[in-house]
Structure 1
Amino acid sequence: MISYEEFEQIVVKILERDIASNQDQKSAIQAGLNQSLFIVAGPGSGKTTVIVLKILKYLFVDDVEPEEIVATTFTRKAADELTSRILDWGYKIKDYLLNEGMNKGYEFEKIRKIAHIDFNQILTGTVDSVAQDLLRVNRQPGTNLPNVIESFVTESAMTNVGLYRNDRYLNEDLQKYLGELKGRDKIKNPSMMSQMILSIKNKMYYDVVDMDEIRQTSTDPGQIQVLDAIDEYEKELRGRNSIDFPMLEDLFLEKLENEEFEDFLSNVKIVLVDEYQDTNLLQEKIYFKIAEFAIRNGGNITVVGDDDQSLYRFRGATVDLFTNFPRRASESLGIYVNVINLKENYRSTENIINLCNHFAELDEKYQNARVSHKPPIVCPENNKGKNIPIIGLFRNTQEILARDLSNLISELINKGTVRRKVQ
């Protein structure tokens, strides 16, 4: 539709984002349609800018249709922010091109293509919301979509069905088994038992564990009780046409593997995943299955994240899936993945950046869990020397900290200065 050079000029002029000055960002945005990327994005490195401009580059430069793009991130808030930025910047570029087209005499077909770009057709969201959207669109006539229940409902269901039914919570083998997991003698509290069994169930889903195989090989009666509780919980939910979020992702993968989303899979070209360091094995299988069709359709898979910011191991995330992504994608999809490090931090002062680099390198054993040959975070030249004063407040409770911080802000606003108190 337009050249990359023209796209870059518009980004600088209209969005005031000088991507040409950062070669790493430019390489990530400019990469070809069929080039898969592994983008290691350090803190404050402009990863959202890169993701959004990469998507808009696909639309305006590569002529990719909006409905051929799926972009996910880890939280609903981040997904909403991504969508908002795509719409804001996308329409600014679109309006500019339409005005320019009239002035410069663009061909009618080019103007028509620009005018018909609908950014709302880009499939954005969390992996769970994407799953729900595709299940809804591809629902068979006369069938009802399963209701996805929240975590507080799952605990109640497990307690009532998996534990209270048949008085399983009184089973000593179960109490002892759960107690051993906690390093205690026995767990007898039904609420705690419910939480632990749900955690075990979710972990097995996220790690793609075959529960039937465990049942067949297990010699621990307490473990069998856990599997029985999970089985009754799942049967109860399915009997009510309900599932929880791990079950939703498992169902989504099953339908992807059966190629039930024909229209989506036959068209998808771009798979872009943010916060990939928080991905679990089940989600990786989902992304790789979609990517299989995207690559077949001439597109790519691009993942963005930072191994130093992996937070969700309790949800099955393993940083190894991120750090080893190029190899795992190559083995599963038969592709070459280009590695790009976004290392310039535009958010922090030079002293903070130096502190973070030093802290990340303190533990030698920790280095084995990081991306191989990962470069340190860099302070841009125009930010060097801007060492803004930093204050640290340390209090015994959040309430005291909130009170003292509020008083400090009030004095700064009203008086302009704060008298130093010597303890």
Structure 2
Amino acid sequence: MEPPEDLSDLEYAQNPQTTGTDPSKPVQSDDGALKQTKLKVDRPTPAQFLERLNEEQRKAVTASPEGGLAVHAGPGSGKTAVLTTRVAYLVEERKMPPEQLVVVTFTNKAANEMKVRLCKMIGAETVDKLVMGTFHSVCVRYLRKYGKLVGLESNFLISDRDDCLAVIKRLLPTLPIPEKLRKEMKPNTWLEYISRCKSRMQTPEQYRAERAKDWDQDKVEAVVVVYEAYEEALSNNNALDFDDLLVRGLQLFRDHPRVVAKIKSVLIDEFQDTNSVQYDIVKYIAAASNSLTIVGDPDQSIYGWRNAEIENLEKMLKDFKPVQQIFLEQNYRSTGAILGAALAIVRQDTKRINKSLTTSHPSGSSVVLHSAPSAPDEATFIASTIHHLMAHLGGLVNYNDFAILLRYGALSRNIETALQKAGIPSRMVGGHKFFERTEIKDMLSYLQLISNPSYSPALARVLNIPRRGIGDKTQAHIVDVAAQKGIPAFEICVRIAKGQNAVSGLTGAQKKGIKALVEVVRDARKKADEGTDVATLIDLIVDRVGYRAHLDRTQAHDAARWENIMELKVSGRSRFSPFGRRG
């Protein structure tokens, strides 16, 4: 649906909707799209869809659109039903033109679900007129139509992450970046720095000013150089990345408020997960009407890592007056025991909004709080509980019916081990199992090389991690020479470290890197022979090879990888070491 015609200028007449993900590909027209056959169905009246709601839900749906409405919707309280019914109510009862309503969800899945429900309530033709979608899609619609106001052509292309990485890869060889950073920072790392700047509305110059006192000014300047070149490349291709959609959308709504002057009301789902840029977008779109409905629950805010700010609720209460707050406290999903346990936890937050949850469901089985003396004991309890339930429920459940939730990925190690010992099949959702993670494989390969320098697969993995300027061809050459002489590849490295010309064609930097690796292995083996535990050996490896700095350079802002290393150290204190001694 196109935004409403808020400008009278002829140049802003409706433009063809064009999208794209690759600046090098031509824009495709959808003129040949198939037309859907519309079926007429009997729709419920407003009174009928209101009678399906409980009292608080009806209050939320029928509240005055003037000012702000904050609907605090606990889990399982029917917030989607309330939001969709309120949209229908504003259209059917308040007679608001659908094209003058903006409805924002956080995912395309949520938007599609709402559209399906609304089609049954107000009809597909009316739904198609709503300005509905994610923050990104809403911004795209306005930028397509009014982009010239902020220097954009209406047929701009949208570059996805792969496109953006391709731009970075193409630019890097042409930019004056220190050789060390060129080798150590991957394209996705540069892109993460740029994305973080955009999420904070920072230009390259503003980033440079903020980081003026950082110790690594070479890196700061390199980020600025790449950022500027990246922006120029996108501009030359008439392309925007996903961060740009929000940044340029905010610029449009802030500097040209007349483009949203006819909007009658704005409705936002999952408001607790909005960040500062998204809140500002909401504020400017709803400024003319002073009509904003937000649905959310601060207790369910999970996107702080993505710059979400639950303080946005406080901003909303100040920016939109009068504000009516309604609490949806009837849960339709969970048993009483589960609700009681959840409330006992969240109520420990003395700063939270005081709200409760009730349910019509039976109390159900009691929630079990098991306090284990150690992480391995906890994991064993989980595995034995699964076995117990499988045995006593007479085939009513299988392994797919059990889920284990973790606070963060590093905690999976003990549980994976316990499940494996118990013969319980498992899979990690949204990531790798602990011992399959890159940083864990790196550390284990170092430990294997220390335990057995003849183990070539371990050498092959760590010879250039962190980067020592030893590429695949050089590694293959070392392996070939070792095979010809009938000795382990590490022995060739030892000879290089001693200054022998064991392999021809090596640069001084490559020889220096190989010597440093050999010295680490030599010193760690000496420590291991003295009885040093695995955890201390990991500390030695991390310190001597600069592995923490390697993670910072190649996996920017990914603290979970360092947590995995710390968890491996815990494992090293509780398990037999690769050297046959108790760690």
**Structure 1 and Structure 2 fold alike (TM over 0.5):** yes
Matched to 1:51, the amino acid is: L
Residue 318, structure 1, aligned to residue 296, structure 2: no
The one of 306, 323, 327 equivalent to 1:341 is 327
- Which residue identity lines up with residue 117 of structure 2 in the other structure? R
1:61 matched to 2:93? The reply is yes
Aligned to 2:120: 88
Amino acid at match of 2:135: V
Kept in 1, the 8 Å contact 2:46–2:93? The answer is no
Which of the residues 245, 250, 256 maps onto 1:259?
256
The answer on whether the counterparts of 2:153 and 2:238 sit within 8 Å (CA) in structure 1 is no
The match for 2:47 is 9
* Alignment partner of 1:228 is 2:228: no
The reply on whether 1:147 has 2:147 as its aligned counterpart is no
Tell me by how many angstroms 1:211 deviates: 4.2
Aligned-residue offset at 1:44: 0.6
1:206 aligns with 2:199: yes
Amino acid at match of 2:189: M
Matched, 1:18 2:18: no
Amino acid at match of 2:206: E
| CA positional deviation for 1:385 | 4.2
Is the Cα contact below 8 Å between 1:211 and 1:227 reproduced in 2? yes
Deviation of 1:118 (Å): 2.2
Does the residue aligned with 1:372 lie in a helix, a strand or coil? Answer: coil
Distance 2:153 2:46 in 1: 48
Q: Deviations over 1:200-226 (max 9, x none)?
A: 322222223454234246144122221
Provide the rounded CA distance (Å) in 1 between the counterparts of 2:427 and 2:305.
Answer: 29
Query: How far 1:367 moved relative to its partner?
Result: 4.6
In structure 2, give the amino acid aligned to 1:376: S
1:294 aligns to what SS in structure 2?
A: coil
- Aligned match of 2:129: 121
Structure 1 residues 119 and 260, CA, compared in 2 at 3 Å: closer, same or farther? same
1:228 aligned partner, one-letter code: V
Q: Offset of 1:158 from its aligned partner?
A: 2.4
Give 1:143 shift. 4.0
How has the CA–CA distance of structure 1 residues 334 and 11 changed in structure 2, closer, same or farther, with 3 Å as cutoff? closer
**Contact 2:197–2:207, Cα closer than 8 Å, also in 1:** no
Supply the AA of the counterpart residue of 1:401.
Answer: S
Code of the residue aligned with 2:61 in structure 1: it is I
1:248 is aligned to 2:245: yes
Query: Which residue, out of 171, 177, 196, partners 1:168?
Result: 177
Counterpart AA for 2:353? S
Q: How does 1:333-412 map to 2 (within 5 A)?
A: 333=319, 335-361=321-347, 364=348, 366-368=349-351, 371-373=352-354, 375-380=355-360, 383-385=361-363, 392=402, 396=416, 400-401=425-426
What is the CA deviation profile of residues 113-142 of structure 1, one whole-angstrom value per residue up to 9, with x for unaligned ones? Answer: xxxx72210111001111111222335599
Contact 2:105 2:268 in 1 (8 A): yes
Letter in 2 for 1:88: K
1:328-385 deviation digits (Å, cap 9, x = unpaired): 1354x35222222212110111122122222334xx4x554xx432x132213xx234
Distance in 2 of aligned mates of 1:393 and 1:274: 27
SS at match of 1:319: coil
C-alpha separation in 2, matches of 1:169 and 1:24: 62
CA distance in 2, matches of 1:311, 1:167: 40
The structure whose Rg is larger is 2
Quick check: which one's helix share is greater? Answer: 1
Q: Which amino acid aligns with 1:225?
A: A
Higher relative contact order (CA 8 A, sep 6+): 1
Give 4+ residue runs of structure 1 displaced > 6 Å after superposition.
388-391
2:294 aligned to 288, 303, 313, which one?
303
Identify the residue that residue 95 of structure 1 maps to in structure 2. none
Structure 2 unmatched ranges of 5 or more: 1-43, 367-392, 405-414, 429-583
For the pair 1:156 / 2:166, whether they are aligned, the reply is yes
Q: Does structure 2 retain, via aligned residues, the 8 Å contact 1:276–1:305?
A: yes
The Cα of 1:261 is off from its aligned counterpart by 5.8
1:118 counterpart letter in structure 2? T
Going from structure 1 to structure 2, the CA distance change for 1:228 and 1:314 (only over 3 Å counts) comes to farther
> How far, CA to CA, are the matches of 2:104 and 2:131 in structure 1?
8
Alpha-carbon distance between aligned partners in 2 of 1:169 and 1:351, rounded to the nearest angstrom? 59
What is the CA–CA distance in structure 1 between the aligned matches of 2:337 and 2:185, rounded to whole Å?
A: 50
Alignment correspondent of 2:284: 289
Structure 2 equivalent of residue 138 of structure 1: 146
Identity of aligned residues (%): 24
Alignment partner, residue 112 of structure 1: none
The structure-2 alpha-carbon separation of the partners of 1:386 and 1:35, relative to structure 1 and needing over 3 Å to count, comes to: farther
Asked whether the 8 Å contact 2:204–2:228 carries over to 1, the reply is no
Counterpart position of 1:268: 263
For 1:46, the equivalent position in structure 2 comes to 78
* Inter-partner Cα distance in structure 2 for 1:61 and 1:288: 25
Q: CA deviation at 1:28?
A: 0.7
CA distance in 2, matches of 1:10, 1:393: 39
CA distance in 1, matches of 2:310, 2:173: 37
Q: CA separation in 1, counterparts of 2:46 and 2:104?
A: 25
Deviates more, 1:305-314 or 1:81-90: 305-314
Q: Which amino acid in structure 1 is aligned with residue 65 of structure 2?
A: L
Does the 8 A contact of 2:67 with 2:320 survive in 1? no
The equivalent of 1:182 in structure 2 is none
Indicate if the aligned counterparts of 1:40 and 1:306 stay in contact, CA closer than 8 A.
yes
Q: Closer, same or farther in 2 for the Cα pair 1:386/1:67, shift >3 Å?
A: same
Preserved contact between residue 147 and residue 242 of structure 1 (Cα < 8 Å)? yes
Aligned partner letter, 2:325 = V
Aligned residues: 332
TM-score of the superposition, structure 1-length normalised? 0.70
Q: Distance in 1 between matches of 2:257 and 2:173?
A: 38
Is the CA contact (8 Å cut-off) linking 1:203 and 1:315 kept in structure 2? no
Q: Partner amino acid for 1:302?
A: T
Alpha-carbon offset, residue 11 of structure 1? 1.6
Which SS does the other structure have where 2:123 is aligned? helix
Task: Please give the per-residue CA displacement for 1:63-96, whole angstroms capped at 9, x wherever unaligned.
Answer: 111111000111111111111111122239xxxx
> For residues 206 and 285 of structure 1, what CA distance do their matches in structure 2 show?
12
- The equivalent residue for 2:104 is 72
CA distance in 2, matches of 1:166, 1:138: 34
- The SS at the match of 2:294 is strand
- DSSP-derived class of the 1:338 partner: strand
Q: Report the CA distance shift for 1:145/1:54 in structure 2 as closer, same or farther (over 3 A).
A: same
Q: 2:274 is matched with which residue: 276, 279, 297?
A: 279
Measured in 2, the distance between the counterparts of 1:301 and 1:43 equals 22
- Partner SS for 1:39: strand
